[in-house]
Amino acid sequence: MKQLLDSWEARTPGRRQVMFRALMNARPSHLADPALFDFAGLRPGVTEDAENSKQLAGED
């Protein structure tokens, strides 16, 4: 694995940083694990951000 990463980094400098940043931005829904995210409760046209805003405003 280290050799693979080293060769990628040699061909494309900054590749490790891009991969690390992508891992840092992963959300539970990106992992497709129903134990971490309620996929069954998804509704069309409703985003996670919209739901969080409603909860913060006291709307349910």
CA 54 remoteness from chain centre: 22
- Average pLDDT over all residues of the chain: 81
Structure tokens at 18: 């891009």
Residue 37: band (very low, low, confident or very high) from pLDDT cuts 50, 70, 90: confident
Tell me what pLDDT residue 3 has. Answer: 94
Q: Say what percent of the chain tops pLDDT 90.
A: 35
Residue 14: band (very low, low, confident or very high) from pLDDT cuts 50, 70, 90: very high
Tell me what pLDDT residue 26 has. Answer: 87
Please give the single-letter amino acid code of residue 45.
G
Classified as helix, coil or strand, 45 is coil
Structure tokens at 13: 């400098």
Specify the pTM: 0.47
| pLDDT greater at residue 36 or residue 48 | 36
